[in-house]
Amino acid sequence: MVVPDFQTIMLPLLKVAGDEKEHTITSASDFLAENIFHLSEEERKEFLPSGIQSRFKNRVGWARTYLAKAGLLKITGRGKFCITETGRKIIKENPGSINIEYLSRFPEFQEFKKLSKPEKEERTTVQLPLQTPEESLEYIYNGLRHQLIADILDHVKKCDPSFFEKLVVKLLVSMGYGGSLKDAGEAVGQSGDGGIDGIIKEDKLGLDVVFIQAKRWEAVVGRPVVQAFSGSLDGHRAKKGVVITTSQFSKEAKDFVTRIEKKIVLIDGQQLAQLMIDHNIGVTEVSTYTVKKLDLDYFEET
């Protein structure tokens, strides 16, 4: 099954706490995943795009937060909780499910919603979010990032070859290759030998070198191109290379580099744009949002 949304988790989580014991998010997540939702190992290990926390554990955490805001659970420490008297009464009522609409009957939750909603927000219909706040933020962020990737590729494909070479140089240097911009600039775009467009230092000391082929291809780059580049490395007794394209690589090309002794990295247009974003090449920062959480340890200091 798919990972349940955080509202679906609310009632089972409350029932877990119904044993009157103190629980942790981790132990509750493990119990629910195995005994209630029967999630596979792959589903349990599915992470948020940030890679910081599993999607299921994140949703269990938010289910606990909302239940606590309604007074059904009590947060007793970092990642810990227990049931309240109100929570026990709800279990006895045996509701079919618990969601945000259900929690809205509790004054504590109504007060929480007033504090978390913009003052001028007009509510015309009841909308029950399926994503946690963190997932919503990451969904919006990823949407903006994907659009930026498309915009970057559109401009890169239109730039002239010399500008593209400079772009590659700046990117590689920002990633730690090539030493200085001057050294990298002299190495890239100078060879033209059998499909090799440049030679760049692997580290600042120049202990090893990486051979480069970078082209603004439009069509899918197939195995013959990559195989020819690999053959060019033999003429230099080289073992490492990078092929950069603004398009894509065929499956055959990708399979080929996994079966040879040389280490050849293939960077397609999508990866190129992502590396440019990550290393601030051709992009500028517009806004920064820092998401913080309560530090319970601070309040527990004596």
Q: What is the pLDDT of residues 93-121, one digit of tens each?
A: 999 999 999 999 999 998 887 765 554 44
Average pLDDT over residues 182-189: 62
Q: Which CATH number fits domain 151-278: 3.30.40.10, 3.40.1350.10, 3.90.740.10, 3.40.50.300?
A: 3.40.1350.10
Q: How far apart are CA 156 and CA 17, in angstroms?
A: 55
Average pLDDT over residues 241-246: 92
How long a stretch of residues is the chain?
302
Domain boundaries, the chain: 6-130, 151-278
- DSSP β-bridge partners for residue 198: 188, 212
Reported as a pLDDT band with limits 50, 70 and 90, residue 144 is confident
Burial class (CB in 10 A: 0-12, 13-18, 19+), 194: middle
Mean pLDDT score across all residues of the chain: 84
Q: How far apart are CA 28 and CA 56, in angstroms?
A: 11
Sign of CA dihedral 228, 231, 232, 233: positive
Domain 6-130 in this protein, CATH class: mainly alpha
Average pLDDT over residues 36-52: 86
Least confident interval from 80-84, 159-163, 292-296: 292-296
